[in-house]
Amino acid sequence: MKELDFLPATNQLSELMFDVELIPIETQPFQSEKYPTLPPLIIDDYFSVTNIKTRECLSVVSKGYRLIHNREALKIGKEAFSYLFPSVNTNDLIPYKVIAPKRKTFCHIDLIHKDVNFNVWEQDTWFPIIRITNSYNKTYALSFEIGFVRKLCSNGVIFNKKTITVKINHTKREQDWEIKADLDQLKALEMEFTNHMLNLKRFFLDKKYIFPLVCKALNLNYEPKETQKDLFGSTQSPYQTRIMEEGRRLKAESNNLAIQYAKTLGENAYTAFNVITDIISHQDKHKIFQNYSTNVRNLNSNLSEWIQQFTEEAEKRNFNIENYLEKELNFPIFKETA
């Protein structure tokens, strides 16, 4: 695994800093058999969120909508990070990952500081990251979340806990936000994360269970649904076919990653965790999930919930991995040979 390169997303970040403005919506001249030519009409109550460079309408919003530019969201995120870590210079924050669709209607920006880190155990360094989420099409509200990324392979996980809250004042036009950062919550989150990682490493896990555990952690269902035969005699819809193909790709990638991680981390649940975070963090390489930019928040949310749930279950005396993975072990694609 390649050690984290601290300049992977700079160019992608600059692509999100385009000018966006609210532009009044005007109709085209209208003519019909019943009416003569009508002049353009201004739609007073609605505006186009417009990419000034491309003149593309990113969404339509009502009057009173407060447009938060990505530049402004980035500035707030850097200030929020400095509230949590007062010793850092915000100019030294580095874009670790940028996720956005082609039209750049929304984005997730992950920032990291190379001097802010902690060890889960000796020679396993993790960095806290802040994820800034903003959108121009109302997909997401402006938000700031804390996560962690592993230095040795740049695998990351986001936790949906309210460590940072930002209140935007909609009446002023100057710097008009209020940041509240909970340092106690951050310390508790770091300690909780470290304990979970230690518990995962203690739990032996045969590599054959990695793929089912990936499915369990991310709440993925690759059990084919029965459908009526179509006109061509097929019993599976095109959508279901794509889902099953995705499952086979995920199975192959999970098994390959499990072999790589087990060489250094051993056969344990911590290896499974790194497989899962690798799959989520490096979609530009794996290309398993469709519409990844839309799904990334759900994937991270599922993973953060699974960490706590699994470590609690695994501590029970009667815990049995095959019972825990009963549904996933019965997926037909799990039983398929390569």
Q: pLDDT per residue over 245-298, tens digit each?
A: 889 999 999 999 999 999 999 999 999 999 999 998 887 787 787 766 657 888
Q: Which residue, chain included where needed, has tokens 């072990």?
A: 329
Rounded distance, CA 67 to CA 52, Å?
A: 14
Q: State the pLDDT at residue 177.
A: 80
Residue 7 has pLDDT above 50, yes or no: no
> Which of 144, 233, 158, 245 lies closest to 193, judged by CA?
158
> Which of 261, 121, 117 lies closest to 195, judged by CA?
121
Residue 231 has pLDDT above 50, yes or no: no
Tokens of 65: 């909508």
Q: What is the pLDDT of residues 104-159, one digit of tens each?
A: 999 999 999 988 988 888 778 999 999 999 999 988 889 999 999 998 888 889 88
Q: Which helix H or strand E contains 60, and what residues bound it? A: strand 56-62
Tokens of 258: 């499990």
Q: State the pLDDT at residue 329.
A: 94
> The pTM is what?
0.84
- Rounded to the nearest 10 degrees, the angle between the axes of helix 238-265 and helix 269-281 is 130
Region 162-183 average pLDDT = 73
Q: State the pLDDT at residue 173.
A: 54
Tokens of 188: 């508790």
Q: Say which amino acid occupies 123.
A: Q
Region 90-108 average pLDDT = 89
Q: State the pLDDT at residue 252.
A: 94
Task: Kindly tell me the number of DSSP H helices and DSSP E strands found in the chain.
Answer: 11, 11
Q: What is the end-to-end Cα distance of the chain in Å, rounded? A: 25
Burial class (CB in 10 A: 0-12, 13-18, 19+), 142: middle
